[in-house]
Amino acid sequence: MTITEKILAAHSGRDKVSAGELINAKVDLILANDITAPISITEFKKIGAKTVFDKDRVAFIPDHFAPQKDIKAAEQCKMLRDFSRAYDLSLYFEVGRMGVEHALLPEQGLVVPGDLVIGADSHTCTYGALGAFSTGVGSTDVASAMATGECWFKVPESMKFIYYGKLSKWVSGKDLILHTIGDIGVDGALYRAMELEGETIRSLSMSGRLTMCNMAIEAGGKNGIIVPDDITEAYVKGRAKRPYKFYSSDSDAMYVDVKEYDCSRIPLTVSCPHLPSNTKPAAELSNVSIDQVVVGSCTNGRIEDIREAAEIIKGKKVSPNTRMIVIPATQQIYLQCVKEGLAEIFVNAEAVFSTPTCGPCLGGHMGILAKGEKAIATTNRNFVGRMGDPGSEVYLSNPAVAAASAIKGRIAVPDEVI
């Protein structure tokens, strides 16, 4: 069996499951945010359950339009708070304690290797980086699981991605996953588990792994997953709030397809409008002028990402034709940025340094694009209208390329500014 099948089997009380089977499995953690939880709450109440299945395993995180951007958003956030109080949920994160959900939960040790996690948010697939099975579902799925602690799944077929070779300077997990999506397309892994492995993955930091699994959904994948190793152990040790278990794939596990990538040949990569699969080498896009740069999100808002952007912009200024918005993904990362002097670097460079929020990533607030404006962002989606007006454009990149582009006011690679 693959690691995905083993985790699904263990959570459905079976010795074995195989691709295509429909199963009912126990979940270790359920999450929802200020956009998706309101529907879950309304639907949960229709079920007529007196309590949630476990008050310590339902996480409500207001992060998308929080800090509350308008009255309607405030009402949605209040629904989360009221419900959390009424049902005594221990995992409600108020503004000031919250962060972008998929950065916050691993950081706080609330998802651990071997877990089965569902979330009413498509990027729930992020936690595969820890060797967990995690996938995005709808609000109604969450409502049902809040009552029963279970969810139905179709066991996905697995696809293997092998990465080998040394990464070039500034090339990161983001470039690998953008390159992969560019290769297989936005439905290249539809309904499938994407298992990432190979020597490059084994030496990739947890931050880079989280970035890669985060974008499995952008290839249509049900989950991204990496077999846990020493890097996983070092990351979860000291932060895991529950016991964890390492699963691995058997040598005779079944894969519907295997892809191999020589990472030494993968360049700094940018996804052009309006699909994540529309990739080009960053170096070929120097004629694209940029109005806004965003560094942040569940994809690239961790401390390593912000350090990378800071390293490039230190002592320089954001181009007069461009605005730059930097958003650490959690309070802990925010504090770390202050302590390390990164916040100061950005303010001196004349960038905005914001409190944690999803904000502009989904065109919510804190940096919306006008018609005709172009942004480069370390986020994960560049669909029409994703960051504002349907006539605006979003390019996706890693933090180093985003920072270099901020300095130049056009898409640029780090070597042009360092």
The CA-atom distances, in angstroms, between 150 and each of 8, 102, 165 are 12, 21, 41
CB nearer to ligand SF4: pick between 99 and 188: 99
Distance CA 386, CA 60 (A): 24
Considering the complex, what minimum distance in angstroms separates the CB of residue 273 from another protein? 12
CB nearer to another protein: pick between 26 and 202: 26
Q: Pull the structure tokens for residue 181.
A: 């999506």
Q: Say if residues 158 and 19 touch (Cβ distance below 8 Å).
A: yes
Give the total of residues touching ligand SF4 (CB under 6 A): 13
Residue 352 binds another protein, judged by CB under 8 A? no
Q: Which of 6, 11, 123, 323 binds ligand SF4 (CB under 6 A)?
A: 123
Considering the complex, what minimum distance in angstroms separates the CB of residue 123 from another protein? 8
For residues 242-301, which are near ligand SF4 according to CB under 6 A?
297-298
Burial, 371: exposed, middle or buried (Cβ in 10 Å; 0-12, 13-18, 19+)?
Answer: exposed
Residue 120 binds another protein, judged by CB under 8 A? yes
For residues 99-118, which are near ligand SF4 according to CB under 6 A?
100-102
Residue 397 binds ligand SF4, judged by CB under 6 A? no
For residues 275-304, which are near another protein according to CB under 8 A?
275
Residue 379 binds ligand SF4, judged by CB under 6 A? yes
Contacts of 155 (CB under 8 A, 6+ apart): 4, 5, 8, 17, 18, 19, 20, 21, 22, 23
CB nearer to ligand SF4: pick between 167 and 387: 387
Q: Which of 78, 94, 147, 253 binds another protein (CB under 8 A)?
A: 147
Among another protein, ligand SF4, none, what does residue 298 contact (CB within 5–8 Å per kind)?
Answer: ligand SF4
Distance CA 178, CA 300 (A): 13
Residue 198 binds another protein, judged by CB under 8 A? no
Among ligand SF4, another protein, none, what does residue 164 contact (CB within 5–8 Å per kind)?
Answer: none
Distance CA 286, CA 207 (A): 28
Phi then psi for 266, rounded to 5 degrees?
Answer: -90, 120
C-alpha torsion 55→61→67→73, nearest 10:
-90
Residue with tokens 């699909």: 275
The CA-atom distances, in angstroms, between 43 and each of 79, 147, 357, 371 are 13, 10, 26, 37
Q: Which of 174, 386, 408, 410 binds another protein (CB under 8 A)?
A: 386
- Give the up-direction half-sphere exposure of residue 42: CA atoms within 13 A in the CB hemisphere: 7
Q: Which residues bind ligand SF4 (CB under 6 A)?
A: 64, 100-102, 121, 123, 297-298, 358, 361-362, 379-380
Q: Which residues bind another protein (CB under 8 A)?
A: 22, 35-36, 38-39, 42-43, 46-49, 64-65, 69-70, 72-73, 76, 119-122, 124, 136-141, 143-144, 147-148, 152, 154, 186-187, 190-191, 220, 222, 275, 362-364, 368, 381, 383-386, 388, 390
